[in-house]
Structure 1
Amino acid sequence: MTEAQTANTSSEETPMDLEAKQKRKKLLKIFALIVIAAAILYAIWTLIFGNTVETDNAYVGAETAEITSMVSGQVAEVKVSDTQQVKKGDILAVIDNSDAKIALAQAQAELAKARRQYSQSSANSSSLSSQILVSADDINSAKAQVAQAEVAYTQTQQEFARRQQLSATGAISKEEFSKAQSALNNAKASVDVAKAALAQAESKRKAAQSNLDANEALIKGTSQDSTPDVQVAQAKVEQALLDLERTEIKAPLDGVVARRSIQVGQRIAPGTSLMKIVPVSALYVDANFKESQLQNVKVGQKATLTSDLYGKKVKYHGTVIGFSGGTGSAFALIPAQNATGNWIKVVQRLPVRIKLDPKELAEHPLRVGLSMTAEVDTSSAK
């Protein structure tokens, strides 16, 4: 090919090359615009939506109150039914109080008896003190009788000694000597009797003193209301009053009655489960987030929730208040056994508890077990 031919060929291909170059430039510009738009969209998504985690595996829960009986008896009346709204202090059921009234009367009688025994013990102290004083007079009288008997015995001894000397000389008869001997023996016996009377009087005084000490030990330093026997009886009366009061079973909080299981005429024992009270104004949500979502979730962060009951038009606002101590599978009745040869990794979920706003619950009530969708803003309360 000559130089002229080459020049002609080059001049023929130039417009096509220019057109192709222009197309390539346009495509590159469009691609660049697409990349820039994607980067912008990614940045916007990261700024707006990248600080949130969401799950639809969430359910409404509540700390329900288990209503049980504190006393035994027959159910006389049931005042509520399932789904009924109750207030704190409302009477839920009434147990026949006949036995409780009898027990109260017995306790009150025991209290009156204990008070009377205290009064009697106080009176006994006064009586025993008087006995001690009388015993002291008896002792003084017995001592005087002993002294008198001893004087008489001494005189009789002297008289007997003279009679004995006279009898040795034959100056008196044997009959007179025998009389002197008998008089001496009688005088000795009188001394013994007087001493025995003195010992008896002293024993009576000691017995009276011991009884006084024992009686004083029961009531010393106490009043009628503070003595142990009266306090025990008073405690029994208070227990009986409490048991009588407990025959009326009352609601411990505001809520809705659920799972009522008692009927009129049923005999119940202490601890029998009667019903549940669900506090619908103090509900929470357990949101089961994937473990890969929880890196930035903290206690105190704000959450937005929607319910399948009302749809997305009704939004609830809550606060993360805690994390469960383990995953759902960890607390299952039959935990998963992963130590096997055919193990497959499964992403676990951890329950995160979210407290709901009571005002929003009042406007749009929920019930335990309803499904929710929860979205936690991980940029809040860090």
Structure 2
Amino acid sequence: MNPSQVSGAESSQPSRPAVRGLVVALALGGVAYGAYHFAMSGKVEHTDNAYVQANVVQVTPAVGGTVLSIGADDTDLVRPGQVLLKLDPADAQVALDQAQAQLAQTVREVRTLFANNGSLQAQIQLRQADVAKAQNEVARAQDDVKRRAPLVATGAVGQEEFNHSTAQLTSARSALAAAQSALSAAQEQLLANQSLTDGTTIAQHPNVARAAARVREAYLAWKRVELPAPVGGYVAKRNVQVGQRIQAGTPVMSLVSLDQAWVDANFKESQLQRIRIGQPATLTADVYGQKVVYHGSVVGLSAGTGAAFSLLPAQNATGNWIKIVQRVPVRIALQADELKAHPLRVGLSMEVEVDVSQQSGAMLAQTPRQEPVARTEVFDAVQKDAEALVSRIIVANAGRVGTQQAAAAVKSSGKRPRA
């Protein structure tokens, strides 16, 4: 072999000091890594069995009908109150028109009942005058009979004239009895009519209230042919088509509120010993990798394992048994600004590390929730509009009597009438 070739081969091989330095560096790195994990093993609980969750709202119509238009499709962003679906309003419009006409007629009928109280009172006064007149006639006829009775024996008054006075007295008494009966009948009629109106007004009368309830029901059904979004979010699982006949309660699509997402981290039961509410957590998502780190905190631990709430829970008391380590869902809240900067999706995989060095928190919630988990105000306006429609119909058909009653009610209560 050429000496030059030998020297070149020897120079291409790494020197022994370099190899030793590399081995030492690797050994020191391994020791440092092991020391770090040993130091952190008692301060951090880790799991990769964690998934993103969010409120998934099923959108279902309150009334049935034929679909005329669809206002949102899968992946669309919708705002609260945005119309998602329109149904054929023809049947609901007819029912609403009938209910409004029935309410107007009922108000006028009840208005007549209140007006009859006055006319019946006038009838009673008229009958009382007739009774007084009949009583005067009876008194005059009795005086005539008393004056003539002694004179019949002396012949100063003829028998025929006396008989005529007696007949007049009998007729006057009959007229008095008839007048008294008419007065009693008028009083009974007034009592009967007052039993339908006592303690109430035209607007509060039971018949009007029943008809008004039908108007509200018909109005709500008419408004519900347009299906608004109860919350904001992204549309998923749209399964309705134009022209389709759907029934009330049929799921047509789902809304996912990604801005309120959280993570359910399924820790092993052996890891729960040091996990407490309020402990900080760091999370990474497979969709973004290690370059994006989320920060959150433990807000609650489930009341049971995932297997306990499964569709077919395990029956460990039957047959052969093999112990399987159970997992308990731990809810971790995420920071809103981080979610906005790097949106997540429902069901995405996450890796979670919980700092368990702080042990001051509780393992379970200690106080009941004071505020609702979620609420919507989208449907409040429909109720108010229904009340306003009922009020307009009542005022338009109540007349002067109903207006005076409303004013008196407002004056006595010190409140303004609700529109």
TM-score, length-normalised on structure 2? 0.71
**Aligned equivalent of 1:22:** none
C-alpha deviation, 1:277, in angstroms:
0.7
Classify 1:330/1:120 alpha carbon distance in 2 versus 1 (closer, same or farther; 3 Å). same
**Aligned equivalent of 1:233:** 211
For the residues of structure 1 that align with 2:223 and 2:100, how far apart are their CA atoms?
16
1:213 to 167, 179, 191: 191
Alignment of 1:29-48 (within 5 A): 44-48=36-40
**Aligned equivalent of 2:100:** 108
Q: Structure 1: which 5+ runs fail to align? A: 1-33, 164-178
Q: Deviations over 1:217-276 (max 9, x none)?
A: 433454433333333333333333222222211111111112222222222332222221
Percent identical pairs in the alignment equals: 46
Equivalent pair of 2:284/2:294 in contact (CA under 8 Å):
yes
Classify 1:244/1:340 alpha carbon distance in 2 versus 1 (closer, same or farther; 3 Å). closer
Q: Deviations over 1:121-160 (max 9, x none)?
A: 2322221122112111111121122223334444665566
Classify 1:270/1:188 alpha carbon distance in 2 versus 1 (closer, same or farther; 3 Å). farther
Alignment of 1:25-104 (within 5 A): 44-104=36-96
Alignment of 1:359-370 (within 5 A): 359-370=337-348
Amino acid at match of 2:142: E
Amino acid at match of 2:232: D
Equivalent pair of 1:302/1:381 in contact (CA under 8 Å):
no
For the residues of structure 1 that align with 2:154 and 2:236, how far apart are their CA atoms?
115
For the residues of structure 1 that align with 2:253 and 2:310, how far apart are their CA atoms?
26
**Aligned equivalent of 1:140:** 132
For the residues of structure 1 that align with 2:359 and 2:71, how far apart are their CA atoms?
46
**Aligned equivalent of 1:30:** none
For the residues of structure 1 that align with 2:184 and 2:46, how far apart are their CA atoms?
92
C-alpha deviation, 1:92, in angstroms:
0.3
**Aligned equivalent of 1:10:** none
Q: Structure 2: which 5+ runs fail to align? A: 1-26, 361-419
Classify 1:214/1:77 alpha carbon distance in 2 versus 1 (closer, same or farther; 3 Å). same
Equivalent pair of 1:146/1:194 in contact (CA under 8 Å):
yes
For the residues of structure 2 that align with 1:44 and 1:55, how far apart are their CA atoms?
18
**Aligned equivalent of 1:303:** 281
Amino acid at match of 1:314: V
C-alpha deviation, 1:380, in angstroms:
4.2
Q: How many residues align?
A: 333
1:324 to 302, 305, 315: 302
Question: Do structure 1's residue 344 and structure 2's residue 322 form an aligned pair?
Answer: yes
Classify 1:356/1:210 alpha carbon distance in 2 versus 1 (closer, same or farther; 3 Å). same
Amino acid at match of 2:131: I
Amino acid at match of 1:95: L
Stretch moving more, 141-150 or 123-132: 141-150
Amino acid at match of 1:236: R
C-alpha deviation, 1:52, in angstroms:
0.8
For the residues of structure 1 that align with 2:126 and 2:147, how far apart are their CA atoms?
32
Amino acid at match of 2:286: D
SS of 2:259 mapped into structure 1: coil
Stretch moving more, 331-340 or 321-330: 331-340
Equivalent pair of 2:274/2:359 in contact (CA under 8 Å):
no
Amino acid at match of 1:255: G
For the residues of structure 2 that align with 1:276 and 1:192, how far apart are their CA atoms?
90
**Aligned equivalent of 2:247:** 269
Amino acid at match of 2:75: T
Stretch moving more, 129-138 or 98-107: 98-107
TM-score, length-normalised on structure 1? 0.78
Classify 1:75/1:186 alpha carbon distance in 2 versus 1 (closer, same or farther; 3 Å). farther
**Aligned equivalent of 2:267:** 289
For the residues of structure 1 that align with 2:268 and 2:111, how far apart are their CA atoms?
75
Stretch moving more, 154-163 or 314-323: 154-163
Equivalent pair of 1:78/1:263 in contact (CA under 8 Å):
yes
For the residues of structure 1 that align with 2:358 and 2:293, how far apart are their CA atoms?
18
Equivalent pair of 1:149/1:190 in contact (CA under 8 Å):
yes
SS of 2:307 mapped into structure 1: coil
For the residues of structure 1 that align with 2:172 and 2:269, how far apart are their CA atoms?
105
Q: Deviations over 1:344-381 (max 9, x none)?
A: 21111111111222222222222111211111111247
Alignment of 1:350-361 (within 5 A): 350-361=328-339
